[in-house]
Amino acid sequence: MSAGGERVRVRVAGVAVDGSGQHVILLKPLADEEDEGLILPIWIGEQEATSILVAVQGARAPRPLAHDLMRDMLDSLGATVDEVEIVRIEDGTFFAEVVLSASSGVRRLDARPSDALALASRTEAPIWVSTAVLEEAGIPDTVTDDDDDGDDEEEAAGMPTATPAITAPDAEARVDEFKRFLDDVDPDDFRDD
């Protein structure tokens, strides 16, 4: 249930890298939605992009990523992710909410869109976008290259081709690179001298 107003169900259509090397998650309305001609780009960090791709493509990291841990913690507490929603945009910053059901009731939690999307990708929770956000920040869909075969449930769980998209081998390489970084990092590297 939306916090307020109309909304559109979307899926992760891909992750692209813009001209400056920044990662962009591309959210596309499902084919039966009214605003299916738009796509919503949200700029996110490289680690978040990798985390989303790992989940969307069904890859497994040798050790749990932060969002895997988050999902496992919720599971162990008997909570479920009902849905996530991109609820608003202010000064170019997107805001999301994660809707959880637990023994104590339903809770709406404020979240960064990248974290909400990474969690939804791991729990198969539906992803929604406020119609107002899509109208304000959506762009014409000239980026994705979907064949509209009407199989949106399957497409919602997978990643159609996007140009330029990060592929499964790229995602695995990024996870490996991140693991090497963690092996070599020294706490002194983060000190302000």
CATH number of the structural domain spanning residue 32: 3.10.690.10
Structural domain contains residue 190: no
Structural domain contains residue 135: yes
Token duo for residue 193 = 């001298």
Tens-place pLDDT, residues 55-86:
888 888 888 888 888 898 998 899 999 999 99
Structural domain contains residue 192: no
Kind plus residue range of the DSSP H or E element containing 27:
strand 23-29
Give the number of domains in the chain.
1
- pTM beyond 0.85: the answer is no
- 77: three-class secondary structure by DSSP: coil
Lowest-confidence pick of 36-40, 75-79, 108-112, 152-156: 152-156
What is the DSSP pairing of strand 38-44 with strand 80-90? Answer: unpaired
Structural domain contains residue 191: no
Distance between CA atoms of 190 and 193, rounded to whole angstroms? Answer: 9
Q: Are 127 and 84 in contact (CB under 8 A)?
A: yes
Structural domain contains residue 46: yes
pLDDT reported for residue 133: 96
Instruction: Show the domain range for 147.
Output: 7-185
Confidence of residue 4 (pLDDT cuts 50, 70, 90): low
Find tokens 């990248």 and name the residue. 114
80 vs 3 pLDDT, higher one: 80
Structural domain contains residue 1: no
